[in-house]
Chains A and B, each alone.
Chain A
């Protein structure tokens, strides 16, 4: 069992409060018998609170599946996933939905916004759905942080790709979720717009204390994170703290080479 991260449940730094989410012996398999494909193979992982975690790995390594399972979008075959102290594995759709609505934020690669709603309506949507009033001061701060103040009444079609992703970031931040999951949030952006969005994510961690988990295959994007987890064949094979883009790239090349020779 390759578990580079072996933080015990109540061990290490700062006790339970330091862990926002954790996975224990999580298996995700598709199909059965000979066609059985294991996407996650007994994964243990802890997501530190107030930190920016990136999950990397080649296509098919299970990185997106891991994120989906952590976020309660997908079910696991076995194992447990906890969000703070709540076990989310085995929750019914109703509770999972409420959990996503109230405690989790999402940023997808594309199509993050409802075309019928303008920017500010999209940002407050999760709170609207929950029937909660947004915290005005916080909302203003989030909007300011992502630099959208002048474009709040614009429809998504009137915004550039970068702006759309920033609205998505703002939406994820606005409800003050315990944790934000990003699925290649900069995958569809050019490097400048991507850098902008990543900058905002970084600042939201540093300045607002947000916990973020991001799946990416871009070493530059990963370099914004505090910690990078490497997945291969459904297992966590390595991790890196305070990485730079070069380090990440080197490590990736290393994996590639190993993959080829093995």
Chain B
């Protein structure tokens, strides 16, 4: 009871000193809870959407995916004949049934030929207006489309692009381009997370999306009252036989959720991972806080021990304080987490993904998990300082007050740290020299963890040396103030080490990823220079195929000399060893592709693979299946028949571009796959006639003006795009790491603030004998800068080591060039100095404001 009472008193007496620790706990817990609330809310939104939009039973083609995705290689959705609708109507328990046509293989443009596709990654859907849609959509302006010249648009898209009744809309599909005027605007009655939806009348939809009438992509069936969905499914299946896919509303919704859920899970766990890093960094902050509180209270604890408190009681009283801190920080964190989730939803809204706060989902597990994590982590972090408190001897009560003796970094610590770092280094060495990527990645993981722990352990030892070096380089110029700053940073290496280590973690990850990212760009650039012979690459950035009209436009562009089409399909390979490999990717291209992409061969000539009934395989496949040049492989093409192709070339398995592709010619593919099932081009390569490159580039852009979905890139653009892509990914990761870095900065502020409190008398003395406020502030700022730079040096060094090792390992996968992004590294280093300055702002200000007399009088 008394333990609790003293703990409570201490906690409230020192609440200011714990404020930053509480913020650290708060931030980490908020990030965890925010992530959970956000992803749960997204799931709720999609659940509601899918539940609302699915009809009781849906009939579709066997080729359609369960989730109703309507993309296929030939750019048209898989369809079922209109007769199915009549058959379904004849089944028992059917109240009503209607045919519908939908496609996502579309591009919709406005009158100025600008794309109306959502920017947030949502799909663009064009379909027929029908009763099932009318359940979830409400026409707000105008009327539903009734003739070929009319189209209806969803209200979100209309708002975003300022579309009005009568505006012209173009629907571009593999079939052709259909133009219509807006006849109506329709709003969602459920939250639409970001799709753009356009409606045509059924007949126009059939002609525009599929190119023939009398077909549907699906038949929506409504059950008569008293008939369950499962029963209805049974009845419909009985009527139709097994040739169609028949799904209940639940099954459709579930399939839809799965496809969304996979993405959501990746996002959720990635964000939780970053929250974990923030927690890790927060641990250092909490350890430091409690260590300092215990140190400052040494005399008091000594007194408690002298008057009869047991070690355990002292120990427990510190842990109870930690518990209070953990509960306090976590409760606030849970609240902040919900706020964070709402903020994220707003942010997504700006990026084009609409989420409604009505769907805000806080599962009971979210606050429970947040509280548990926050409290457990805080108490664990406080364990070491608590133990140290328990060890304080009753004699401490009698000793002089003032700052406790400097804690020297011990030899044992140095030895353990060296062993761990050494082991980590060795593991990294093994990773760098591994022959197989799988072995190497295990070593890499082990090396990263061991070297990180090693650095954390050895940090205080390194602090002594590195602070001296940094001091010699940076602080000597500032005379005695610089010297005192250096001494202050040095006086408690354990504290400096832990503060620096917190910053080290975040910066090590930044450095590592920047090295890997820039090596990726450099390697890919080198590879592109070496292999790509084409001048221009045309592709859709959403991985949609290139429709024939666009290909024709490319071909008819003046100044274009050579155009290579590149298709991709799946096939089952039966090799001479009798084995069959299912769903193997096979690339079909024009023979000129051999010029456009200089793939190295280990046997035969690649150009020969484009001869009739010929193909190439890659080295690994050849080895696995005992295939040599001249071997015959039975290739059963998807959507087509089986052909026996002769292997004419074996390509090298090295290289990043088109790694592991097996080639055949488009003519060969056309022999076995009927024309209406032929996959569309995935990529188109074009090369200009000699000396007309610039003109051709311009002309090409012009001729593709009507197809905003396609990007034309020359090699420079392509490299730039690649760089941007990797840069964006890195920026996103840096953004998430910012949380850990913010917590680390709080750690620096915390250390300084508590140091200032601890050194109140010293500060008073210095002020009394003539240190000016400005000098005092400068001294604290410099101490802060040195601590920050110490952390940055450790982090950047460690991170570059990890990055270089990862590159060595990934060289096996084609990441051949090590590129250290010095501007980033140096930028981070200099940035850290500013972080130090920033962190010292408040502590320095408060130290400067201290009343000299009170400071001297402080015990």
Give A contacts to B, CB under 8 Å.
68, 73-74, 93-94, 97-98, 100-102, 104-106, 108, 111-117, 121, 125-126, 128-131, 157, 171
Q: Is B296 an interface residue (CB 8 A)?
A: no
Q: Is B733 an interface residue (CB 8 A)?
A: no
**Residues B480 and A115 in contact, CB atoms below 8 Å apart:** no
Apart from A104-B770, A111-B856: 7 A-B pairs, beta carbons within 8 A: A93-B773, A98-B770, A100-B770, A115-B762, A116-B490, A126-B769, A129-B481
**Residues B772 and A98 in contact, CB atoms below 8 Å apart:** yes
**Residues B484 and A117 in contact, CB atoms below 8 Å apart:** yes
Q: What CA separation (Å) do A99 and B768 show in the bound complex? A: 10
Residue of chain B at shortest CB distance from A130: B770
**Residues A112 and B765 in contact, CB atoms below 8 Å apart:** yes
Residue of chain B at shortest CB distance from A93: B773
Pick the contact of B491 from A97, A115, A130 — CB < 8 Å? A115
Q: Is B488 an interface residue (CB 8 A)?
A: yes
Q: What CA separation (Å) do A106 and B853 show in the bound complex? A: 13
Q: Is B611 an interface residue (CB 8 A)?
A: no
**Residues A126 and B491 in contact, CB atoms below 8 Å apart:** no
Q: Is B767 an interface residue (CB 8 A)?
A: yes
**Residues B765 and A97 in contact, CB atoms below 8 Å apart:** no
Q: In the complex, how many residues of chain B place their beta carbon closer than 8 angstroms to a beta carbon of chain A? A: 28
Q: What CA separation (Å) do A111 and B763 show in the bound complex? A: 11
**Residues A125 and B480 in contact, CB atoms below 8 Å apart:** yes
**Residues A102 and B770 in contact, CB atoms below 8 Å apart:** yes
**Residues A106 and B769 in contact, CB atoms below 8 Å apart:** yes
Q: What CA separation (Å) do A143 and B248 show in the bound complex? A: 97
**Residues B767 and A131 in contact, CB atoms below 8 Å apart:** no
Whole-angstrom distance between the Cβ of A247 and the nearest chain B Cβ: 31
**Residues A97 and B773 in contact, CB atoms below 8 Å apart:** yes
Pick the contact of A117 from B406, B481, B487 — CB < 8 Å? B487
A108-B856, A111-B402 given as contacts; is B770 within 8 A of A126 (CB)? yes
**Residues A73 and B770 in contact, CB atoms below 8 Å apart:** no
| B residues less than 8 Å from A129 (CB atoms) | 480-481, 766, 769-772, 775
A-B contacts, 20 of them at CB < 8 A, read A73-B852, A97-B767, A97-B772, A97-B773, A100-B770, A101-B770, A105-B769, A106-B768, A113-B765, A114-B765, A115-B762, A116-B488, A116-B491, A117-B484, A125-B480, A126-B769, A128-B479, A129-B481, A129-B766, A129-B770
Q: Is B1 an interface residue (CB 8 A)?
A: no
Residue of chain B at shortest CB distance from A105: B769
Q: Is B495 an interface residue (CB 8 A)?
A: no
**Residues B484 and A116 in contact, CB atoms below 8 Å apart:** yes
Whole-angstrom distance between the Cβ of B786 and the nearest chain A Cβ: 14
A74-B853, A129-B480, A131-B479 given as contacts; is B769 within 8 A of A101 (CB)? yes
Q: What CA separation (Å) do A63 and B520 show in the bound complex? A: 75
Q: What CA separation (Å) do A126 and B853 show in the bound complex? A: 18
Whole-angstrom distance between the Cβ of B10 and the nearest chain A Cβ: 24
**Residues B853 and A68 in contact, CB atoms below 8 Å apart:** yes
Q: What CA separation (Å) do A108 and B764 show in the bound complex? A: 11
Q: What CA separation (Å) do A113 and B646 show in the bound complex? A: 91
| A residues less than 8 Å from B309 (CB atoms) | none
A-B complex: 4 closest residue pairs judged by Cβ atoms = A101-B770, A128-B480, A116-B487, A97-B772
| A residues less than 8 Å from B480 (CB atoms) | 125, 128-129
| A residues less than 8 Å from B483 (CB atoms) | 121
| A residues less than 8 Å from B762 (CB atoms) | 111, 114-115
Q: Mark B366-387, 1 if CB is under 8 A from A, else 0.
A: 0000000000000000000000
Whole-angstrom distance between the Cβ of B785 and the nearest chain A Cβ: 17
Whole-angstrom distance between the Cβ of B757 and the nearest chain A Cβ: 15
Whole-angstrom distance between the Cβ of A55 and the nearest chain B Cβ: 17
| B residues less than 8 Å from A131 (CB atoms) | 479
Whole-angstrom distance between the Cβ of B310 and the nearest chain A Cβ: 30
Q: What CA separation (Å) do A116 and B479 show in the bound complex? A: 15
Chain B residues numbered 759-813 whose CB sits less than 8 Å from any CB in chain A: 761-762, 765-773, 775
Q: What CA separation (Å) do A104 and B490 show in the bound complex? A: 30
Whole-angstrom distance between the Cβ of B458 and the nearest chain A Cβ: 23
**Residues B769 and A94 in contact, CB atoms below 8 Å apart:** no
Residue of chain B at shortest CB distance from A172: B769
Q: Mark B833-852, 1 if CB is under 8 A from A, else 0.
A: 00000000000000000001
Q: What CA separation (Å) do A25 and B402 show in the bound complex? A: 37
Q: What CA separation (Å) do A100 and B773 show in the bound complex? A: 13
Whole-angstrom distance between the Cβ of B761 and the nearest chain A Cβ: 5
| A residues less than 8 Å from B765 (CB atoms) | 108, 111-114
Q: Is B405 an interface residue (CB 8 A)?
A: yes
Q: Is B235 an interface residue (CB 8 A)?
A: no
Q: What CA separation (Å) do A130 and B770 show in the bound complex? A: 8
Chain B residues numbered 147-170 whose CB sits less than 8 Å from any CB in chain A: none
Q: Is B824 an interface residue (CB 8 A)?
A: no
**Residues B768 and A100 in contact, CB atoms below 8 Å apart:** yes
Residue of chain A at shortest CB distance from B481: A129
Q: What CA separation (Å) do A182 and B852 show in the bound complex? A: 16
| A residues less than 8 Å from B771 (CB atoms) | 97, 101, 129
**Residues B773 and A114 in contact, CB atoms below 8 Å apart:** no
A68-B853, A111-B761, A114-B762 given as contacts; is B769 within 8 A of A125 (CB)? yes
Whole-angstrom distance between the Cβ of B600 and the nearest chain A Cβ: 65
**Residues A157 and B405 in contact, CB atoms below 8 Å apart:** yes
| A residues less than 8 Å from B853 (CB atoms) | 68, 73-74
Chain B residues numbered 377-425 whose CB sits less than 8 Å from any CB in chain A: 402-403, 405-406
Residue of chain B at shortest CB distance from A181: B768
| A residues less than 8 Å from B405 (CB atoms) | 157
Whole-angstrom distance between the Cβ of B459 and the nearest chain A Cβ: 20
| B residues less than 8 Å from A97 (CB atoms) | 767, 770-773
| A residues less than 8 Å from B403 (CB atoms) | 115
Q: What CA separation (Å) do A101 and B771 show in the bound complex? A: 7
| B residues less than 8 Å from A126 (CB atoms) | 769-770
Chain B residues numbered 456-484 whose CB sits less than 8 Å from any CB in chain A: 479-481, 483-484
Whole-angstrom distance between the Cβ of A103 and the nearest chain B Cβ: 9
Most buried by A among B490, B766, B769: B769
Q: What CA separation (Å) do A202 and B143 show in the bound complex? A: 107
Q: What CA separation (Å) do A231 and B173 show in the bound complex? A: 102
Whole-angstrom distance between the Cβ of A128 and the nearest chain B Cβ: 3
